[in-house]
Amino acid sequence: MKKLCILLLTGFVACATGANTTQTKSLSKDLKNLVNESCFEVVVNKPEKDTLTYEKELPWHLIPYNIRVDKYYSIGTAFAISPTELLTAFHVLDLKTDSLIYKDFYIRDSQGNVYEIDKIVAFDSHRDFIRFTVKNRTFAKFLKLKENFNIGDTVYAVGNAYGEGIVVRQGELIGTYPEPEDGKFNLLKSSSDVNFGNSGGPLIDGAANVIGVVIQRKDNIAYSLPVAEVMKTGNRGIFHVRMNFGFTLLPEKTMVKNFDDELSLPKGYKEIKKLFNERFKKFYVTTMDELLKGQGRRMFPEGEESLIPLFDFTDSYSLQVNYLSKDNNKWTISNIEYKETKIHGNGVIRMANPDKRLLFIDISRPDDVSLQDMLNDPTVGMKLVLEGQSITRDFGDVKTRILSLGNPLTVEYHTDKYGRKWRLCTWILEYSDEAVISCATPTPEGMSAVVFVCETTEIEFWKYDALKLLDYVQLSYYGKLKDWKEFLTGNKLLPKALNAVRFDYSVQRGFQFGTGTFSISATNDVIAINDDVRMGINFGYIKQAADTEWVIRRVQLSEYQKDNYFVLVNWVAPDTRLPKDYINYWESIVNADHPYTMKPFTSDNSTKIAAVVKTIQEKPEKVKKLYTLFLGRAGKVEEEKMIQDFKTLMKGININE
């Protein structure tokens, strides 16, 4: 999750920015009055509510008074070009976005009067302009458009100066510049100084004729769209979006595609936003589906590229993921490292940030929080995350910690390709126009979650990516035996693979665990059974004839804070196309090489013993599957006793295949 430190006036990208350093040379008084009466701020309502809870009152006194008391945020400039129409840059209103926070757009005149934008008369998202009307307002004064210009002429950039009113700044028209994408048209370059809020304002000549629309500033140069380009569009609405499509787990697989659409106008701006988002979402889903399906048999779990995760499995109990390595173009299993933070009541928050706006979280709940608390109330888990991770709202250098995101806007449920159940919650951060999307699933200790942070206008697109990514997550489980009992009972999000598990234990007596393919029965003589004994289960993938199953590959039982444990592992014969080290490791197990000799050995101040307890033959000479058992005891244990304990444990292992 990126650090949420959005400043009060940010959140609107691509607006022209810069410092006010050029001395202004005024136009004549009459022309200046004309300009001032023809130009307006473009504003949006400030958010009316804030669902977040903070550690202390926000330091609003650090915000200048005029901004603090203003009901609106100023986001750009527009100017009248007829008694009924205005012109601004497309990105000021950005009809491609549909924010959940900034829904209404207005213009504001120098007297503070505010008028809502009404109909969009023409626009071109690529050329970056919009012509529009406003409700209940006509314009006695307006600026004339002029298609001709001369390089070297004095020009003036007019615009809203940081919300402080309309300012005119002198410069020189120094040339033209081809638009960056394909050079389909030229932009005007001028030395006129511009700042945040100038976007959409007019670039005028000495007679106050508009020769361009200011769209951005870069390297001390102001770039404007020539009026001739505005005139070409007529009364049409043209969308053009060039997008580089990719998927987090396929770092080298991308696809560049254009979305081009045209609307008949006039239409209301909200209707246009709705139409665009409906059409663009279909385009996005279709293109992403094409990108993923285009990988064909190179996509996990198909093809030779997928062989490693089909043989191997993770021994981590925190979320890992299968991804396509750019080093060898093979699917592999991540080894993501987590940062661990302790919270109250023996709780722990583990966090990792494997990709830009993507966060993996593992919650070990505190003693005073039950699994049912977390299952029934999504806010519980999020509060614990915020207790373990300092996320702040910043006012300059003053950082105020966020304690709660409040109730989620939406709560949905999803079952992935392998029958694992996830709860999808979407929280809104009103102050920054962002959304937090959490895909969480319960564990015996608490919750594991995949979390995305995005702009509110991007929620549906990130949900698409999130649901696709969940199919590649390596999910394992770990916890106390008493927590396992709660986890396996009355858990509405229990994965399909654990539905048939039989599990029970009696303190100081014994432990039983069973699935359809194997069972374990261990007495107190092998492991001192109590509520605090830990059981870990690692899952992996086994390729069947026409399908891939997500199955238990490893079960570990261990005494708390003691090096007494046993591990049962389900091994599957590797494909012969795997790298040689995998083949060699498998052969060493089949041949009962060390440590699988059933001969005790010492290592790391403990005594260990291991053996193959069951082999499944495909042919008499070929092992298809096998199970290994590993027993560890703290300190030095006599060889005879170690062998006897191991044999006792083996008697409790039953393989049903």
Per-position DSSP letters for 409-440, written without gaps between them: SEEEEEE-TTS-EEEEEEEEEGGGTEEEEEEE
CB 213 within 8 A of CB 89: yes
Backbone angles phi, psi at 640, to 5 degrees: -65, -45
Q: What pLDDT was estimated at residue 252?
A: 86
Question: 296-334: per-residue pLDDT in tens?
Answer: 888 999 989 999 999 999 999 999 999 999 889 999 999
Is residue 15 classed as helix, strand or coil in its secondary structure?
coil
Q: What pLDDT was estimated at residue 251?
A: 86
158: nearest Cα among 120, 214, 112: 214
Backbone angles phi, psi at 24, to 5 degrees: -85, 130
Handedness of CA 314, 317, 321, 326 (dihedral sign): negative
> Length of the chain, please?
657
Residue 11 — pLDDT band, cuts 50, 70, 90?
very low
Q: What pLDDT was estimated at residue 414?
A: 97
Q: Please state whether beta strands 72-80 and 86-88 pair in parallel, antiparallel, or not at all (unpaired).
A: antiparallel
Q: What percent of the chain has pLDDT over 90?
A: 84
Q: What pLDDT was estimated at residue 67?
A: 86
Nearest-10 crossing angle of helices 269-293, 459-470 = 20
Could you write out the three-class secondary structure of 233-294?
CCCEEEEEEEEEEEECCEEEEEEEEEEEEEEECCEEHHHHHHHHHHHHHHHHHHHHHHHHHC
Q: What percent of the chain has pLDDT over 70?
A: 96
Alpha-carbon span 489 to 28, nearest angstrom: 81
Residue 409 — pLDDT band, cuts 50, 70, 90?
very high
Rg of the chain over CA atoms, in angstroms? Answer: 32
Q: What pLDDT was estimated at residue 96?
A: 96
Q: What pLDDT was estimated at residue 177?
A: 93
At residue 16, does pLDDT exceed 50?
A: no
Q: What pLDDT was estimated at residue 167?
A: 87
Q: What pLDDT was estimated at residue 163?
A: 63
User: What are the residue boundaries of the structural domains of the chain, listed by start?
Assistant: 29-239, 478-657
Alpha-carbon span 74 to 161, nearest angstrom: 10
Question: 61-78: per-residue pLDDT in tens?
Answer: 999 888 889 999 999 999
Alpha-carbon span 479 to 442, nearest angstrom: 12
- Domain 29-239 belongs in CATH node 2.60.34.10: no
Identity at 229, one-letter amino acid code: E
The CA-to-CA distance between both ends of the chain, in Å, stands at 44
Residue 6 — pLDDT band, cuts 50, 70, 90?
very low
| Mean pLDDT along residues 610-617 | 92
At residue 152, does pLDDT exceed 90?
A: yes
Q: What pLDDT was estimated at residue 5?
A: 32
Backbone angles phi, psi at 119, to 5 degrees: -105, 145
Question: 226-253: per-residue pLDDT in tens?
Answer: 999 999 888 999 999 999 999 999 988 9
358 DSSP assignment: E
Per-position DSSP letters for 211-229, written without gaps between them: EEEEEEEETTEEEEEEHHH
pTM of the model: 0.90
Backbone angles phi, psi at 147, to 5 degrees: -80, -25
Residue 25 — pLDDT band, cuts 50, 70, 90?
low
Residue at token pair 């440590």 = 595
Residue 10 — pLDDT band, cuts 50, 70, 90?
very low
Strand order in the sheet with 473-474: 331-333, 320-324, 473-474
What are the residues facing 619 on neighbouring strands? Answer: 622
Q: What pLDDT was estimated at residue 197?
A: 76
CB atoms under 10 Å from CB of 366, counted, come to 16
Among the listed ranges 319-328, 437-446, 483-492, 612-621, which one has the minimum average pLDDT value?
A: 612-621
Q: What pLDDT was estimated at residue 544?
A: 80
At residue 366, does pLDDT exceed 50?
A: yes
Residue 162 — pLDDT band, cuts 50, 70, 90?
low
Per-position DSSP letters for 164-193, written without gaps between them: S-EEEEEEEEEEEEE-TTT--SEEEEE---
Q: Is 477 exposed, middle or buried (0-12, 13-18, 19+ CB in 10 A)?
A: buried
Question: 69-108: per-residue pLDDT in tens?
Answer: 999 999 999 999 999 999 999 999 999 999 999 999 999 9
Question: 539-549: per-residue pLDDT in tens?
Answer: 999 988 778 99
CB atoms under 10 Å from CB of 338, counted, come to 17
Q: What pLDDT was estimated at residue 361?
A: 97
Residue 23 — pLDDT band, cuts 50, 70, 90?
very low
At residue 15, does pLDDT exceed 50?
A: no
Residue ranges with strand state E in 290-347: 320-324, 331-333, 339-342
H helix or E strand, kind and range, residue 119:
strand 114-124
Among the listed ranges 190-194, 368-372, 611-615, which one has the minimum average pLDDT value?
A: 190-194
Q: What pLDDT was estimated at residue 18?
A: 37
Residue 604 — pLDDT band, cuts 50, 70, 90?
confident
Among the listed ranges 132-136, 405-409, 530-534, 603-607, which one has the minimum average pLDDT value?
A: 603-607
Residue at token pair 């009466």 = 37
| Mean pLDDT along residues 286-299 | 92
CB 617 within 8 A of CB 603: no
| Mean pLDDT along residues 644-648 | 95
Alpha-carbon span 610 to 568, nearest angstrom: 10
Mean of the per-residue pLDDT values for the chain? 92
